[in-house]
Chains A and B, each alone.
Chain A
Amino acid sequence: MKWYIIKRLLQIIPVILGVTLIAFTLIHIAPGDPVRTLLGQHATQQEIEEIRSKYSLDQPLYIQYFIWLSDVVRGDLGRSILTHEEVTIEIASRFPNTIELAIAAMIFAIIIGVFAGIISATKQYSIADYSVMGIALFGISMPVFWLGIMLMMIFGVFLGWLPIGGRIDLLIPFQRITGFMVLDSIITANGAALISVLRHLILPAIALGTIPMAIIARTTRSSMLEILRQDFIRTERAKGLSERTVIYKHALRNAMVPVVTVIGLNFGLLLSGAILTETVFSWPGVGRLVVDSVYARDYPLVIGCILIFSLVFVIVNLITDIMYTYIDPRIHYD
């Protein structure tokens, strides 16, 4: 197992090199350049040339890539062309927000999705099954933007129960330590902040978690249906085990492998930001950062974000693979 993990971690290096090289080439081939965004409509030729040379944009592409790579090896992702801020700080200031939202959305998606999938599978072709699968289909097809606005209208404007955007009520004093606001309010024993932060999390988490929830529900259902038809389930029932034990202890565990795969993939996606949810709920996450930086052709920031995203993706996949061995002890990697 140890060697497997080391081997997988070493595989990250060629993956990152490949991904950044492709991203670097694509973003530079795309028309437009950051200097124009930086200087606006009134740039003079001299200013454009000065800035292009300051950021080595006048060098051939492969030289630019090697300059970037040699900086990265020394732990320097450079500075954003547009904001002058260090790329690591730009990403670090948003990433905790994205992680918190992704975790909250995944908790919502897993609890509701798995439970709905089980109900659907155990009561196949019943009204419950049809309604759960109907809702799941609705969930997958619903535009996030619309769902977000609807949640805001209902719970924010009409009922007035929950705030409609942002991370915390700005009138509440709050001390930032780790950047993870739930964690920070617990560390500083700030009850009012904790409540406010959690309240701000609910609607975006539901909006973001709805699609994964629907996918998880459908995967759980089909996987459960397959398992429930197996011989060992019939044997357990014949032994007189209660239906609850059969389903939750034996069937569910066996049905979880494809579900965990789906969860892992979706979690990886959520960690690279959710531009629509972030926009509707004014959530300061990495999704908006990367989209804005692509529009502005802010090369160092775009490549920095892609580097971090691919790292996250590879690591989440590794964790998913390791989880298989716990869910299904028959799986070995040695």
Chain B
Amino acid sequence: MRRDNILNKKAVVGTIIISAVLLVLSFSGCMETEPQVKEKVLIFGCAGDADKLDPADVTDGESVARTDSIFEGLVEYKSGSADIQPCLATSWNISEDGLNITFNLRQGVKFHDGTDFNADAVVFSFERQYNTSHSYNQYGEWAYWGYMFSDIQEVKKIDDYKVNIILSKPNAAIMTSLAMFTVAIVSPTNAEQWKEDAFKHPVGTGPFKFVEWVKDDHITLEAFDDYWRGTPKLDKLIFRVIIDPSSRLLALQTREIHGMEFPDPASFNTINADENLQLLTAPGMNVGYLAMNCGYGYNDTNKNGVRDSDEPWVKTPGYFEPFTNKSVRQAINYAIDKKSIVENLYKGTAIVAKNGMPPFMLGYNDQIVDYPYNKTKAIELLTEAGYSNGFDTTLWVMPVSRPYMFDPSKIGEAIQSYLADVNIDVNIYQIDWSTYLEKTQAGEHPMCLLGWTGDNGDPDNFMNVLYGENQCTLGTAGNVAFYNNTQLQNLLSEALQTYDTTDRAQLYKDAQVILHEDAPFVYLAHANQALVFLSNVDGFVLNPTARYFFYPVDLK
């Protein structure tokens, strides 16, 4: 009997303790929401963690979102625009032949570690990427260099505050490219200290300095008091990883965070109805499209990125005879109701695309009249081409959502049903993302869905990269329609070497006319970008390049 009593007492005491702990834990929330010192801290909810914090050695948007507050380049984008303005360089001169750009550097700028910003830092930041014998070249892959900056032959110091960039051929896109994160200036003393591990100890000249990185959880930055434009208004900027979009929105609604990226379009009504939240949207620099494999690939044996005379055209593995016929490609353009796809599947957060680049970019041809949705016309064209009974084909559908392609599976099904209406029987094929990229770039698909988010805000970064015949390289193609047109490639190559913006714009407009007529792609949509903030967050301006600049942001 005694033993039972003890057990009873134990149970009672245990219950009381557990209840007390739970009570304290449940109601102690109020103790922690008020920090001891009133600092202005902005917590931004991100969809994933950064890979590395070396701006020259990353390709993922999450890494760029952090490094953009830590580092700066010679030039930068104007607020809300893809045009450039001086940053760490105060001015520059381009030589007559367009091969030599001299930059005057800003004086009195310091890195977060106290190192002076000067020509040595600029040369270091560039040279480690292109010079394979540079002792820091081994520490990164420098994925963007070969593709965006290979026209840069050398970066030379003239004096402490003057550098010279020498190009191997004229490149009118180079100035906008220099605003990219890839060529941000890093502290050479810091790189020397950390060597292989410098990517987790980032030191730049930007408005915020790095404090802490807890993997998959958060990255903390704090205001850099010696910032050359003046101390930022926020004391701290924290990037917190919240992968699931509904969890991210709940965290914003409960004020655990102050802003978030990639809201689910299905939640836009909820966000707009909540007076504590503000939804920022702006046109995005992207295009989502359907590509039809025209069958022209080549092996870039000398790896110069250009199809030379000794590199013959080879039939792509996914070559499909009907798509070599222009009428068939036009018919498919007529057969798909893009407006309905944008309204119902992009949920109204995109605009219908008629050209292969976004409307706000230099050289966009607004004169072009899009193929309207017209089933009868499509059937007529197919009959003309000798396919009155239609044909069977396969559509490769991306396995992941991308900003330019919300819900690819549903978009694929919609296209399947539109094409069924004109007697084209479409099978849908899906495979994991990295394999998808590998195989579509090798030309194994008859038709595929894909898209592009621009890197630098320059038209070349859409037109040449996606539609030029030099990009039909089997295995690494940017032009996944494997569509060859020498006249188009000549226009694009000429445009890249034309510094006069009016002449340059005209060349791109002409190029779009050819693309529209030949119709190797069905351009579907340009998706908007969207961020959500609490209503007391002030000063954030969306940039067309989708990069995040937190310097002007304040908490009211």
With A51-B141, A284-B241 in contact, do A199 and B435 touch (Cβ < 8 Å)? no
Report yes or no: A282 in contact with B250, Cβ–Cβ below 8 A.
Answer: no
Query: How many Å lie between the Cα of A47 and that of B130 in the bound state?
Result: 12
Shortest Cβ distance from B550 into chain A, in angstroms?
Answer: 16
- Smallest CB gap from A82: residue in B: B51
Per the bound structure, the CA–CA distance linking A297 and B220 in Å amounts to 29
A36-67 interface bits toward B, Cβ cutoff 8 Å, 1 = contact, 0 = none: 11111111111110010000000000000000
**Contact at B218–A242, with CB atoms within 8 Å?**
no
CA distance A51 to B143 in the complex (A): 10
Hey, what's the 0/1 contact readout for A65-96 against B, CB within 8 Å counting as 1?
00000000000000000111100001001100
A51–B431 Cα gap in the complex (Å)?
A: 24
Which residue of B28, B218, B250, B432 is within 8 Å of A295 (Cβ)? B432
**Which label, helix, strand, loop or mixed, suits the secondary structure of the A interface?**
helix
Question: Is A308 an interface residue, CB under 8 A from the partner?
Answer: no
Contact (A284, B475) CB under 8 Å given A47-B141, A195-B32: no
Of the candidate stretches B111-119, B154-162, B209-217, B529-537, the one touching chain A is: B209-217
Residues of A close to B433: CB separation below 8 A: 32, 295
User: Is B108 an interface position by the 8 A CB rule?
Assistant: no
A84 touches B254 (CB 8 A): no
B residues in contact with A40, CB < 8 Å: 59, 143
A161 at the interface (CB under 8 A from B): yes
Chain A residue numbers with a CB within 8 Å of B435 are 31-32
Q: How far is the CB of A297 from chain B (nearest CB, A)?
A: 6
Measured between alpha carbons, how far is A157 from B249 in the docked complex, in Å? 11
Most buried by B among A33, A83, A163: A83
Q: Is B26 an interface residue (CB 8 A)?
A: yes
Query: Measured between alpha carbons, how far is A282 from B29 in the docked complex, in Å?
Result: 19
Cβ B434 vs Cβ A37 within 8 A: yes
- Say yes or no: A45-B3 contact (C-beta < 8 A), given A31-B431, A195-B25, A284-B216: no
The verdict on B256 contacting chain A, using a C-beta distance below 8 Å, is: yes
**Residue B24 at the chain A interface, CB threshold 8 Å:** yes
Residues of B within 8 A of A202 (CB): 25
Measured between alpha carbons, how far is A43 from B147 in the docked complex, in Å? 7
User: What residue of chain A has the Cβ atom nearest to residue B438's Cβ?
Assistant: A36
CB distance from B363 to the nearest CB of A (A): 21
Judge if B478 is at the interface, Cβ distance under 8 Å.
Answer: yes
Asked if B300 is at the interface (CB within 8 A of a chain A CB), the reply is: yes
Q: Specify which chain B residues have a CB less than 8 angstroms from the CB of A83 in the assembled complex.
A: 51-52
**Which residues of the partner chain A approach B24 to less than 8 Å between Cβ atoms?**
195
A39 near B59: Cβ-Cβ < 8 Å: yes
Residues in chain B near residue A192, CB distance under 8 A: 31-32
Residues of A within 8 A of B452 (CB): 41
Q: How many residues of B contact A (CB 8 A)?
A: 65
| Residues 93-145 of A contacting B (Cβ, < 8 Å) | 93-94
Nearest CB in chain B to that of A179: its residue: B214
Q: CB distance B473 to A45 under 8 Å?
A: yes
Complexed CA–CA distance, A149 and B242 (Å): 13
Within 8 A of A (CB), among B395-446: 431-435, 437-438, 441
Query: A195–B28 contact, CB under 8 A?
Result: yes
Q: B147 touching A42 by the CB < 8 A rule? A: yes
Write the chain A residue with the least CB distance to B212.
A176
B247 touches A242 (CB 8 A): no
Q: Identify which of residues 278-334 in chain A touch chain B, using a CB-to-CB cut-off of 8 Å.
A: 279-282, 284-285, 288-289, 295-297
Give the distance to chain A from B284, nearest Cβ to Cβ, in Å.
16
Proximity string of chain A (161-186) to chain B, C-beta cutoff 8 Å, 1 when within and 0 when not: 11111110111100010000000000
Query: Given the complex of chains A and B, what is the CA–CA distance between A39 and B59 in angstroms?
Result: 7
**B305 CB-CB contact with A under 8 Å:** yes
A85 to B197, CA, bound (A): 8
Residues of chain A with a CB closer than 8 A to B473's CB? 45
Please tell me if the beta carbons of A44 and B25 are within 8 angstroms of each other in the complex: no
Bound-state CA distance A44–B300 (Å) is 10
Residues in A with CB closer than 8 Å to B1 are: 242
Q: How far is the CB of A225 from chain B (nearest CB, A)?
A: 22
Chain A residue contacts of B215, Cβ below 8 A: 90, 93-94, 284
In the bound complex, what is the Cα–Cα distance between A153 and B250 (angstroms)? 8
Measured CB to CB, the closest approach of chain B to A280, in angstroms, equals 6
Contact of B29 among A160, A280, A288, A289 (CB under 8 A): A160
A199 close to B29 (CB less than 8 A): yes
- Smallest Cβ-Cβ distance to A249: which chain B residue: B3
- Kindly report which residue of chain A lies nearest to residue B217, judged by CB atoms: A284
The winner among A31, A282, A285, A288 for most chain B CB atoms within 10 A is A282
Assuming A93-B215, A192-B32, is B4 touching A244 (CB within 8 A)?
yes
Is B143 a contact of A43 with CB atoms below 8 Å? yes
Known: A171-B32, A192-B32, A280-B247. A44 touches B146 (CB 8 A): yes
A152 within 8 A of B: yes
**Contact: B243 with A166, CB < 8 Å?**
no
Measured between beta carbons, the chain B residues less than 8 angstroms from A196 are: 32
Taken together as a complex, chains A and B put the C-alpha atoms of A223 and B431 apart, in Å, by 46
Q: Which of B27, B29, B475 has the most CB of A within 10 A?
A: B29
Q: Check if B495 is an interface residue, CB within 8 A of chain A.
A: no
Assembly CA distance A90 to B247 (angstroms): 24
**Which residues of chain A have C-beta atoms less than 8 A from B251's C-beta?**
164-165, 282
Q: In the complex, A199→B31 CA distance in Å?
A: 12
Most chain B CB within a 10 A radius of its CB, from A42, A199, A295: A42
Q: State A51–B243 Cα separation when bound (angstroms).
A: 29
Q: Which of B220-258 contact A (CB under 8 A)?
A: 220, 238, 240-244, 246-247, 250-251, 253-254, 256
Nearest A-chain residue to B36, judged by Cβ? A173
B441 / chain A contacts, CB cutoff of 8 Å: 41
B26 CB to nearest chain A CB (Å): 5
Q: A248 near B: Cβ within 8 Å?
A: yes
- Chain A residues lying within 8 Å of B147, measured Cβ to Cβ, are 42-44, 47
- A245 and B32 contact, CB distance less than 8 A: no
Beta-carbon contact of A157 and B250 below 8 Å: yes
Instruction: Please judge, given known A-B contacts A32-B438, A164-B247, A280-B247, whether A170 and B476 are in contact too, CB under 8 Å.
Output: no
Task: Say yes or no: B254 contacts A157, CB within 8 Å.
Answer: yes
| Cβ contacts B15-35/A at 8 Å (1 or 0 each) | 000000000111111011101
- Considering the complex, give the chain A residue whose CB is closest to the CB of B49: A284
Q: How far is the CA of A90 from the CA of B214 in the complex (A)?
A: 10
Least CB distance, B444 to chain A, in whole angstroms: 11
> Which residues of chain B have C-beta atoms less than 8 A from A85's C-beta?
200
6 new A-B contacts, CB < 8 A, other than A153-B250, A195-B32, are A32-B433, A42-B144, A160-B29, A192-B32, A245-B4, A279-B243
Q: List 29 A-B contacts (CB under 8 A).
A: A31-B438, A32-B433, A36-B434, A36-B437, A40-B143, A44-B146, A45-B476, A47-B141, A84-B140, A84-B199, A93-B214, A156-B254, A162-B25, A162-B26, A165-B251, A169-B32, A170-B238, A192-B31, A195-B24, A195-B25, A244-B7, A279-B243, A282-B217, A282-B241, A282-B251, A284-B215, A295-B432, A295-B434, A297-B434
- Residues of A whose CB lies within 8 Å of any CB of B are 31-34, 36-48, 51, 82-85, 90, 93-94, 149, 152-153, 156-157, 160-167, 169-172, 176, 192, 195-196, 198-199, 202, 242, 244-245, 248, 279-282, 284-285, 288-289, 295-297
**Contact surface of B with A, Cβ cutoff 8 Å:** 1, 3-4, 7, 24-29, 31-33, 35, 41, 43, 51-52, 57, 59, 140-141, 143-144, 146-147, 196, 199-200, 214-218, 220, 238, 240-244, 246-247, 250-251, 253-254, 256, 300, 303, 305, 431-435, 437-438, 441, 452, 465, 473, 475-476, 478
